[in-house]
Structure 1
Amino acid sequence: MSHTYRRIHKLNLIYFQTKTFNSTRLWQNIITFAIISFFLQVLRKSSLYRLSRYAIVILCLIFLVYKVLNIDNPHIVLQHFCKASRQRFLLLVVAVALLPVNVILETIKWQTVLRNIVLLPFGKALSSVLFGYTGAFITPNSVGEYPTRALLLPEGSRTQAVAMGFVGSIVQTMVIAACGAVSLFFFVQNTDSSGIDYKKIFISIVLLLLLAVVFVSKIHTVGVFMQKSRFDFVRKIGNGLYYTTAGQLAKLITVSLLKYFAFSTQFLLILIAFGLDIAVIDAIVAINVFYLFLTFTPLINIFEVAVRSSWAILIFGRYSVGSISIIAASTLFWVMNFCLPTFVGLFFSGKKS
């Protein structure tokens, strides 16, 4: 095990097993609640509506420029491009081609969760999704994504849209957790687990998955309960949940599976293009475990590349690829899937359904 591998292993161990992790989680929950509360006020008050849209664009543009100008070692990414063989360059081309596939699938998901609230043509839904990237980019754990999308929807449907957006997010997390939990079982068989209690991690993931399954399966009951609230915005959320159909959920799960396959394949192709040598079965297990850990790691977007790189080095570092190559691959993936869509989303701030 290399010095870098041991260091990253230790960093992630500390991250999972100290009070710092709990403190970070607590503060992120507080920030998340504050952000959602703010957006709910914005969605209800037209006086804040236009101001919030322009503020999101300005903040996002500043943050985007800052992050791009401060990418660590951008020359490493360029070196990999220049040295890539024809076969590996073709893998990068396929990875780039999967970017619009990811966006299209996310747009279909957005249309699906809104089906009982507002019927959006594909073009309008796409505009909303792209603008949502800007809100996701400037908020912890991307909690601003769905409220930002809702800003482009007709008045009267925004609060319900935010709630249903988070239902879609829960379903996507269920898919990742299910694939990751199965893969984690096989991953630990060939892993030095000293210092990390994978059993507790596995049990925690399974319990969270079961809670999510119960919520989704009882979404109608949850909606009925929320409809009885004395708060208007809670009743609106309850209406959205109440009218969610089984067919709607089935389509949502299917599209979430396709989207997970698309973006996980995309990252794997980039890693292979940058020198990862891995068997197919090992690749499936490793990529599922990687996204499992990444999904349940509290994230502030300013540290996205660092956290993604750390997990990637920990999980893929054993497969004969240097940490520098993994960091370069993670940086490229981040630029492709977050910076580029966010930049495009800035041009949709003035559109309204």
Structure 2
Amino acid sequence: MPDHLLQNYAEKPERTTRRKWLVIGGKLLITLLTLGLLWYSVVADAATAAAWRRLLTSTLTGEGRMPVLLALALVPVNWGVEAWKWWRLARHLEPVSFRRSFRAVLVGLTLGFVTPNRVGDYAGRIIELQHRRLDALGAVFLGRYGQLVVTVLAGTAGLVYFLLTFYLRDYPATGLGVVVAAVLVNAGVLLPLYRSRLLLAVLMAVPPLRRFRRFLAVMPTYPARAIHVVLALSGLRYVVFCAQFGLLLRAYGAHAPLGPGAAAIAGTFLLKSLVPSLNALADVGVRELSATHLFGLLGEPMLPVLSASLSLWVLNIALPSAAGLGFVLRLKVFRKKQPALARPAPAPESSAAS
């Protein structure tokens, strides 16, 4: 065998070993960052620590125990629905089990905890797939966009309620304009979900955005019935979130009427979603500021609302992120390449949403 071939052969184990150590180092870095942010947000931060202590005290002493336990019981339901949604999207690309989908969601949650605007959620779900990882970017975007659509539909209704009730009561013409604007916004947000080819056309029309088209090209291949399922599951998960928030508000002593309270919760989630964040920790301040303002308009004191909002973040983000660390450490970031013929072809689906 020629010397240069022997040299190349000898270098391959070294590259493999170097890559292995880089993966291990990345996992440890993510672990340390996650644990550090959890410590800072739950223990070192005085406001969050106080809310957490009150949550534990109310549970152990019996005051508000049932609402808190119900909210806690809904945590696996919340992320189970999200895993169901991702399973429905991922199986369009390749055969995948619900168990792997649930693991991918937890891994994405942990990675998103330490990345800007939670972009690590994409990586966590893509890594769990065997093939078509580039197309998986579009699948993840489709799932997140479906959740955003539900948030916008409910949130605009909540904010319109507050605008008409507290700010535009004496300005009926302006109030009508706000309602019309809300309807147009909702239509504009909903349209790309079912007419994704329009979204791709917009990307092609804007030169700086053209590079994103290849990542979203898989979206028009999803049939309309799949979009219906994604939207329905997004709505179900939204209801679970709202129920958890309502239960925690009751546990801490807030007693807003059902309708206005639901409008405040919906408005809070919308305002939080519109503000980009550096990481999951930054979401805390945005949600608390929105919640205390909207519930303040309903005459609710700040402390119960603040405690409930912080507890919602701890239950749904902090604790599952910590649970996902175990899966992160066992990730197989790089997979062995397989012959192209061995890769399963995607199952053809009809009536694609285009």
Indicate the TM-score class for this superposition, using the shorter chain for normalisation.
0.7 to 0.9
> Who is 1:165 aligned against?
140
CA RMSD of the aligned region, Å?
A: 3.3
Q: 2:317 aligns with which of 302, 314, 338?
A: 338
Tell me, in whole angstroms, the C-alpha distance in 2 between the residues paired with 1:305 and 1:321.
Answer: 19
Matches within 5 A, 1:1-353: 52-73=26-47, 74-79=49-54, 81-82=56-57, 86=62, 88-154=64-130, 156-192=131-167, 208-220=185-197, 235=214, 237-238=216-217, 240-300=218-278, 301-349=280-328, 350-352=330-332
**Where do 5+ consecutive residues of structure 1 fail to align?**
1-45
Whether the 8 Å contact between 2:93 and 2:132 is mirrored in structure 1 is yes
Aligned length: 302
Tell me, in whole angstroms, the C-alpha distance in 2 between the residues paired with 1:138 and 1:164.
Answer: 22
Deviates more, 1:285-294 or 1:51-60: 51-60
Tell me, in whole angstroms, the C-alpha distance in 2 between the residues paired with 1:245 and 1:52.
Answer: 37
Whether the 8 Å contact between 1:53 and 1:151 is mirrored in structure 2 is no
1:237 offset after TM fit, Å? Answer: 4.0
Whether the 8 Å contact between 2:138 and 2:215 is mirrored in structure 1 is no
> Who is 1:13 aligned against?
none
Taking structure 1 as the reference length, the TM-score comes to 0.75
Tell me, in whole angstroms, the C-alpha distance in 2 between the residues paired with 1:291 and 1:198.
Answer: 22
SS in 2 for 1:125: helix
Q: Name the aligned partner's letter for residue 218 of structure 1.
A: R
Percent pairwise identity: 25
Q: Name the aligned partner's letter for residue 304 of structure 1.
A: D
Whether the 8 Å contact between 1:131 and 1:148 is mirrored in structure 2 is yes
1:141 offset after TM fit, Å? Answer: 2.2
In structure 2, relative to structure 1, the CA distance for the partners of 1:348 and 1:82 (3 Å cut) is: closer
1:317 offset after TM fit, Å? Answer: 1.9
Q: Name the aligned partner's letter for residue 185 of structure 1.
A: V
Deviations for 1:120-170, whole angstroms, at most 9, x for unmatched residues?
A: 11111111110001121112222221222212221x322211221111111
Taking structure 2 as the reference length, the TM-score comes to 0.74
Whether the 8 Å contact between 1:275 and 1:321 is mirrored in structure 2 is no
Q: Which has the larger radius of gyration?
A: 2
